[in-house]
Homo-oligomer: A and B are copies of this chain.
Amino acid sequence: MLGEFELIARLLVPLARGRRGALGLTDDAALLPPRPGHVLVATKDAMVAGRHFPEGEEPGAVARKLLRVNLSDLAAMGAAPDAYLLVLGLPRSLDEAWLEAFVAALDDDQQHYGVGLLGGDTVGTEGPAFFSLTALGWVPHGSELRRAGARPGDDLYVSGTIGDAAFGLHVAQGKLAPADPADAGHLLGRFRFPEPRLRLGVALRSLARAAMDVSDGLVGDLEKLCRASGVGAELRADLVPLSPPARRAVEAEPDRLAAALTGGDDYELLFAAPPTARAPVAALARELDLPLTRIGAFTAPGEVVVLGATGEPLALSSRSFTHF
């Protein structure tokens, strides 16, 4: 096991390169110059081995998911990411090679997403490994996306496809074994490597009335957005976009549709936009090469109703997935 100071100097300092405000990770705190006309957007999530990822997960997958779920929160607010702080809670079982692979993947991802390490802390633990990341970004004053703001009559959209991550978890747990190994790979990949919808979030600043990311399950998260907005919603289950592997999983076992609608970890954006925005939303989907699917509508204050293909309400045993 590396000592704390060696770990910082050899592995973490390179993640702060080019960041003057990180002060080489040798100071008590870090500096981040504000962007004129912008408001700071801050989020902080944690992951624990055995709960948020399997104990034997590859270090690179842990690192990427940790960063990406936080960036997804920034995306949901329409923020452009800037920097992050990192806490590593390390048991002795994680050796130097593990940390090197963790840092290499984080380095790759931070370059991809244009963020850099500002600071943080490294501590030992007798328990399972834990990680916490604080992501900082900026949004022009007054143009942040929030969960509150959807109005009755607004269209309900979701980006990308839904359910892949839930099915990916099932594959990891041995509960789902697709006939085609490529399907298993796709689903697992979506569970392990979520894609924060940052460009979409920025573009939605001027189009959406409300937004959030789907981290705990589509239906449960939609309920949260409705509660924050003081509206109800009708969700058309048959319109929810499924990837071909997810569609094949549901065709093999129709009960799986409920898991797709309520499972977590999709990290797609759910958003409300007025019907007048349909053409720009369609144009945006083409520009980003990302499906933006209308899956229902917001209604007067009330329940979230999930409807099947023939308009009948579906009963779901569980509405959201909790990591707690």
Within 8 Å of chain B (Cβ to Cβ): is A14?
A: no
- Nearest chain-B residue to A144 (Cβ)? B31
List of B residues within 8 angstroms of A247 by Cβ: none
Decide: B34 and A34 in contact? CB cutoff 8 A. Answer: yes
Within 8 Å of chain B (Cβ to Cβ): is A272?
A: no
Within 8 Å of chain B (Cβ to Cβ): is A153?
A: no
Within 8 Å of chain B (Cβ to Cβ): is A152?
A: no
Decide: A38 and B43 in contact? CB cutoff 8 A. Answer: no
List of B residues within 8 angstroms of A170 by Cβ: none
Total interface residues on A, CB under 8 Å, equals 69
Decide: B128 and A125 in contact? CB cutoff 8 A. Answer: yes
Decide: B34 and A38 in contact? CB cutoff 8 A. Answer: yes
- Nearest chain-B residue to A137 (Cβ)? B29
* Most-contacted residue by chain B among A50, A127, A147, A148 (CB, 10 A): A127
Q: Which of A20-28, A98-106, A277-285, A286-294 contacts B (4 or more CB under 8 A)?
A: A20-28
List of B residues within 8 angstroms of A134 by Cβ: 42, 44, 85, 134
Within 8 Å of chain B (Cβ to Cβ): is A166?
A: no
Within 8 Å of chain B (Cβ to Cβ): is A48?
A: yes
Decide: A48 and B85 in contact? CB cutoff 8 A. Answer: no
List of B residues within 8 angstroms of A29 by Cβ: 41-43, 73-74, 76-77, 79, 135, 137
Within 8 Å of chain B (Cβ to Cβ): is A108?
A: no
Measured CB to CB, the residues of A under 8 A from B are: 3-5, 21, 23, 26-34, 38-48, 50-52, 72-74, 76-77, 79, 85-87, 89, 118-128, 130, 132, 134-137, 139, 141, 144, 146-148, 212-213, 224, 227-228, 322-324
What are 20 inter-chain pairs, A to B, with CB distance below 8 A? A5-B322, A23-B148, A26-B227, A27-B77, A27-B148, A27-B212, A28-B43, A28-B76, A30-B41, A31-B39, A31-B144, A32-B40, A34-B34, A44-B121, A45-B87, A46-B121, A48-B127, A125-B127, A125-B130, A127-B128
